[in-house]
Amino acid sequence: DSVLLGSSMTTNFDTSKFMDEMGLKTQKLSYNGAYPKDQDNILKIVFEEKREEFEKFRSLLLEYNEKYNLTSITEEKDIYYKHFLDSVIGERFFKEGARVCEIGSGAGFPSIPLKILRPDLKLDLFESVGKKCAFLQAVVDNFQFKDVHIYNIRAEEGAKSVDFREKYKDVIRLHIKIL
């Protein structure tokens, strides 16, 4: 199964076709701004227990955003709610040590907040834009994350590659609207 997480965006990328090519089923999370009761502790973890790590990521995001235009969301409260909390809402769907593929990693949502929350996850991030890959690599290096690999290729290329095809049980991507 795969999980689509995060806030809405619009794209020409056909996620359904990609999922079919990768041999995956989709499980869409929908919470309409209300977090499930079993996720009450997520707020405590993000705002208290892991606050230092999330602040470090927010700082890197804002620093690189000046050079690379990674996000239009730059206010602290908005970053925490629209990026961080939206990204980690589905963390319970991943088994311990799951190998997860993220398509269209962009600024690292939901992958980086998930990795902060769940260091056990093994992440393969697919991003076609080189400057976004440079940012992601800076984050991985800065946090000294283990088991995070960044691939500067289009997801469609990855789906056709024997190196990646049918290698993932879990795929994440921001929730999107198909044009």
Residue 89 contacts residue 172 (beta carbons within 8 Å): no
26-34 average pLDDT score: 42
Percentage, residues of the chain above pLDDT 90: 48
142-166 average pLDDT score: 87
Task: Please give the model's pTM, rounded to 2 decimal places.
Answer: 0.76
